[in-house]
Amino acid sequence: MTRAVLSIGSNMGDRLAHLRSAVAGFAPELVAVSPVYETAPWGVTDQDDFLNAVLIVEGPPGPWDWLRRGQELENASGRVRTLRWGPRTLDVDVVSVDDVRSDDPSLLLPHPGAHERATVLVPWLDVDPDAVLPGHGRVADLVAALDLTGVERRDDLSLS
């Protein structure tokens, strides 16, 4: 059994439907679904706003299975890979899997950007106030140190 934290995001097409497709894809192992956040783009800032959320899943799949499942859902959403950090129908990042550390470039664990991304940490904190990001400490402390400008909770949108 493993427990994984997955960050999902979309800024193309029917963003909510893309996030819902990820929820449906992980339904058998779903433990928690965060609120939805509307977030200003980071990285490449000249693109549309994202919807972001976090899923917590638990079950027999291992780290590589979570990654593969996420990539299958990205592909099913019609995602086309062009620009790094560019627009996408669906992005599924594996943030952490238990305390697993991996330096394989195809599956870096914990995800190397997670500790500084409000788009990951804020929804994660909503569903797990005691969350710890391996190597970086308590998510509550990481969030407290972040600028949360451009991260707006959308209580009118629901994934569960």
Ligand X SMILES: Nc1nc2c(c(=O)[nH]1)N=C(CO)CN2
Ligand Y SMILES: Nc1ncnc2c1ncn2[C@@H]1O[C@H](COP(=O)(O)OP(=O)(O)OP(=O)(O)O)[C@@H](O)[C@H]1O
Residues that bind ligand Y (CB under 6 A): 67, 81, 84-85, 91, 93-94, 106-109, 111, 113
- Positions touching ligand X (CB under 6 A) are 9, 39-43, 50, 52, 85, 91, 119
Nearest to 48 by CA among 57, 40, 56, 60: 40
What is the closest distance, in whole angstroms, from the C-beta atom of residue 60 to ligand X in the complex? 27
d(CA 40, CA 129): 24
What is the closest distance, in whole angstroms, from the C-beta atom of residue 114 to ligand Y in the complex? 8
Q: Where are the beta strands (DSSP E) in 35-138?
A: 37-39, 50-59, 91-97, 102-104, 107-109, 132-133, 137-138
Contact partner at residue 67 from ligand Y, ligand X, none, CB < 5 to 8 Å by partner kind: ligand Y
- With respect to ligand X, which residue has the nearer C-beta, 28 or 106? 106
- The residues annotated with a catalytic role in the active site are 79, 88, 91, 93
Exposure letters 90-117 (e unless 16+ CB within 10 A, then b): bbbbbbbbeeeeeeeeebebbbebbbeb
Plot region of 28 (φ>0 → left; ψ -120 to 50 → alpha; else → beta): alpha
What is the closest distance, in whole angstroms, from the C-beta atom of residue 41 to ligand X in the complex? 4
- With respect to ligand X, which residue has the nearer C-beta, 35 or 41? 41
Contact partner at residue 109 from ligand X, ligand Y, none, CB < 5 to 8 Å by partner kind: ligand Y
What is the closest distance, in whole angstroms, from the C-beta atom of residue 155 to ligand Y in the complex? 26
d(CA 147, CA 89): 26
- With respect to ligand X, which residue has the nearer C-beta, 59 or 113? 113
Q: Which residues pair with 62 in a beta bridge?
A: none
Contact partner at residue 34 from ligand Y, ligand X, none, CB < 5 to 8 Å by partner kind: none
